[in-house]
Chain A
Amino acid sequence: MSAASEGAFRAFALSRRPALRRTAFLLCGDWHQADDLVQAALVKLYVAWPRIRSDGAPDAYAQRVLVRCYLDERRRPWRRESPAEIVDSAGPARPEEDLLDLRSALARLPRRQRATLLLRFWLDLSVTQTADALGCSEGTVKSQTARALTTLRALLADPVVVTEESS
């Protein structure tokens, strides 16, 4: 990669890293794992950078790689264990019971449903864009979204409201 291209990558990575990190945290629920995910995604992004840069859509590509890193990571045998309880390693326990409930509820969602939900309602991707990011059909996105929302609504004391196009 040329120095110019690498400079552009550095600039992109520095500017988009915080947003990717937050998305990664919402996906996996752990800041340390989120850092690992973002790093893995950025390394993959670096490899494909000359092509992505010429395509002109590095942000969408980065989000897609991040989500796939998350899904792939969970497929690896040594990552299959699921924590019995969510431990907040980031700081002191917070009093907002509804937020803790949301975190616990998110952790109970199957990983693809969780990823679907976050792509749709956190990153504001359309059904088509979400299907593209996850490598599945639009129908699957709609059904996964509906199931995830049903589960969340059943689990949360404070019901969630979403703006849905069609699901």
Chain B
Amino acid sequence: MTHLADQLAGLLDNEPAAPYDIDHIVRSGRRARRRHNVALAAAGTVGAAGLTAAVAIPVATIGGHQQPVRLGVQPSSTSSSPSPTPSPTVARGRCYIAAAPSKATKHDLERLIRSGKVGVHPSITKVKSGNRSLLEVCSKGTSPIDPRAKRQDAQPPAGPAYTYTEEPAAVASRLGAHLRDRVSGFGLSITYTRPFSQETSTLDSGRPSYFGGNVDVHEASGYADIGVQVTHAVTELVPFTGACGAAEHCVETKLPDGSVLRTGEVKVGNGDVVLTAEVHRPDGVVVQAQESDYPFGPDAGSQPHGDQPLTLDQLVTLAEDDAFTF
């Protein structure tokens, strides 16, 4: 009589060596991610068209009222024209209108939730417009707020809200140009540039998404990579937010201007190492400069690995560079 777990473990005695193909997995992942992003964008377009049709066709057909109804994507904060339900006060976010009852309503709602535009738990309110019933679907905290019944979950998010002072495209362009200048200034030859890009084109509850970009450089021994990510602490997208975490040799230093510098090293397997210098500024902006002794670009799998292109001090000066900001 043997324990099942032991018997199962016995089946693994003759485990053959695993093929090492992490680069292949990463390349496949990048392709899948691109396809995923394209599919999401297409689904969003189709979904918006579907929702618009779901409302426009029934409303136009019935024509039961004289007042126009706002269709499709409806930022509630701008709903000054007649809308199905007056919204006395609204928070940031989005609301969508769907016809109800309708056989397609459930499908439309599921699709809307899957798209992520209204979050996982949107608020759904049944509203009347003339003799028509409509559903208003809002992301959490965005629904029309009844001043007589203030909801607990409609509290403003913690931390300061943030607004860009430049167009996101201009921020990305400026940061990318500055990184190239700095890397060239270190006497390194750039072989590949991943332009700075923003994770999303919208602000999430007033929070800035991160901007990140990187360059591959050619050295005598091979290729390596240097990248910078500019974000805000509240996005929690930075590795050392809150603690040094799992990085080896993570060191935290308080700088004279109140910034916190964290440096660390992560061994990512196969002898490859990533060095990180991260500066948390008093205004909440976080700049993370990172270098690896392997390339990142499209030919990364076939290129020989080099050494760390910068010294740790040089990497820290990159993270401390005031030009890397929103």
Contact = CB atoms under 8 A, between A and B. Distances in A.
B12 to A, nearest CB: 5
Interface string B205-230: 00000101010000000000101010
A46 B26 contact: yes
A152 to B, nearest CB: 8
A97 to B, nearest CB: 12
Nearest to A123: B5
A158 B8 contact: no
Given A10-B268, A160-B7, A2 B229 contact: yes
Contact count band on A: 35 or more
Interface string B1-38: 11111011011111110110110111011101100100
Given A7-B292, A44-B32, A158-B2, A14 B16 contact: no
Nearest to B269: A14
Given A4-B274, A90-B15, A103-B11, A46 B29 contact: yes
The SS class assigned to the A binding surface is: helix
Interface in A28-56: 31, 35, 39, 42-47, 49-50, 54
B292 A43 contact: no
Given A2-B212, A4-B239, A9 B1 contact: no
A159 to B, nearest CB: 5
Interface residues of B, number: 50
The SS class assigned to the B binding surface is: mixed
A161 B1 contact: yes
Name the residue among B21, B22, B24 with the largest chain A CB count within 10 angstroms.
B22
B292 A26 contact: no
B33 to A, nearest CB: 5
A99 interface: yes
Interface in A129-162: 152, 158-162
A3 B28 contact: no
Contacts of A17: 18, 22
Contacts, number: 141
A81 B3 CA distance: 31
B22 A13 contact: yes
Contact of B7 (A13, A50, A99, A163): A99
A98 interface: yes
A118 B8 contact: yes
A60 interface: no
- Closest 8 pairs between A and B when the two form their complex, measured CB to CB: A46-B29, A14-B269, A3-B227, A91-B14, A2-B212, A160-B4, A7-B274, A10-B268
16 contacts: A2-B212, A3-B290, A4-B229, A7-B266, A8-B266, A22-B12, A25-B15, A31-B16, A39-B25, A50-B199, A88-B14, A90-B15, A99-B11, A102-B7, A160-B2, A162-B5
Given A14-B269, A102-B10, 18 more contacts: A2-B229, A7-B290, A7-B292, A11-B268, A14-B22, A21-B15, A26-B12, A46-B32, A49-B29, A96-B10, A98-B2, A99-B10, A102-B11, A103-B11, A122-B8, A158-B2, A158-B7, A160-B7
